[in-house]
Structure 1
């Protein structure tokens, strides 16, 4: 493991809480094969665009039901949020309420196998994640949308915009927040990345005791609560655990490979819409050197904004600051 990563890989089967917290500090948040067009299930999403329902399901061509929320005026400018691993659309509460109050239409979905979406046993990779997001955007007829992704959700946004959103003319801007692209895994070509042993440790901890693992991660590195002097918010920890445990262990296990091994260099190079890259300088989960600092160099129309001392979970811990900066970018 590279020096300065702040990570330690426990032996398989380790039960010591401190070890789990330490190796959890490289954890990334969320990611899935190309699918076809979607059909509506549950409340009709086409009715939703006319102001009827605030939530429902879209059924993909491989019969996966994707849960979504759709709030605000249906003729307003849409913002679609893409959550991280192993969470759900609920992780965007602070942003959805804020932008709703500013008159925007806000949409967020639960990735397949996460939250309230179908717990299928396959398709847990960036290709499927992006195709599922496109199914929602098509069903709700989202046009000129701003797509905002956090962590693994940032990888989903990059693949969505490059392969679906821009070709279909449905995206206006993109935001990558503490996002995984271009590549998390350490390789000869990507020496700043995180070693494979760390991700193997994630899989071992998840398989051994997912419930404990999902307490240890937010209690420590995710929100930076392991830093000296940090104010620990128990509600944030419990809400993170709640969201994680709603999802499927299979989706979460497979998602580790998706967020760690997917090289999205080509996606970043293909995105031409204005793209804001936001990253905390004390991100222990997706280290900035292997992600944001490289991503902005690959984006043809990218802007980088970094935050000294802020954590991977800054969207929640520092919501007021992040929301203001997001609004400035969207309205610029």
Structure 2
């Protein structure tokens, strides 16, 4: 094979990834080969989006010339990850090769939404909440004793900030099945958001009576104490959960933030660095660490995490402000406070 042929093959095997944040969802545009050699780039893009607390993703595949089993694995795994946070992933503008693999051979469009254009996928996200709520209301009109339907309806209301409506629906699920663990956990989360911390604690403890190792209830119970400023109790509970589930970055982040609230900087740094080891794109952790290092006047470490914020954040205003701060810190012109209001 000649040099030009090798260069051409190398170029074709590359993957270009572009990310654009829209109102309804974040669009990740892929161009090139989505294969074993470059799926890490695609995973990295999704990780950064989720770190921005954005869980609705559209993958534009119009420029994908080739996809293998690793590329398919990326799509399925990313779908599961967005759903875990209450979001969704949709595919748009499949290239001819991808359409043949995804739709005609694997039939993935039976459980992954596929659209002709990015605009159609965006429109579906925009109408999705209303249509999903209507769908479950129709189910309940036929099966009024179906607790899962009330729970799913509650989750839709919760995702859209309709707390009173969400609480009413999840209570209906619990009236049918008082020991419904998923409903108890959702009810606890709603109550916590409404400021009813003591009632939320009761719900999570009831879950743990039935299932002592339930990760969701263990975590949210610790969050309840954290939110109530009972920091010693929260720290003890976070540490206990980490002993059972040591590889969850969120737990290390929350533990680190509790230490930071107590001004225990060394312990906060240890926990936050552990979160970064598990998830290098954890934006909130970079914000927290940059805050600590700026306060401690540790220039090089502060710059490291400020640069990470610029790389990961999808908020143009935040990126602009962080770059300005980078220039200040580089000149050792440290501000008195930074990010504390955002992360505490």
Of structures 1 and 2, the one with the larger relative CO (CA 8 A, separation 6+) is: 1
Q: TM-score range by the shorter chain?
A: under 0.3
Q: What's the TM-score once normalised by structure 1's chain length?
A: 0.24
Higher share of residues assigned strand: 1
Higher share of residues assigned helix: 2
Q: What's the TM-score once normalised by structure 2's chain length?
A: 0.23
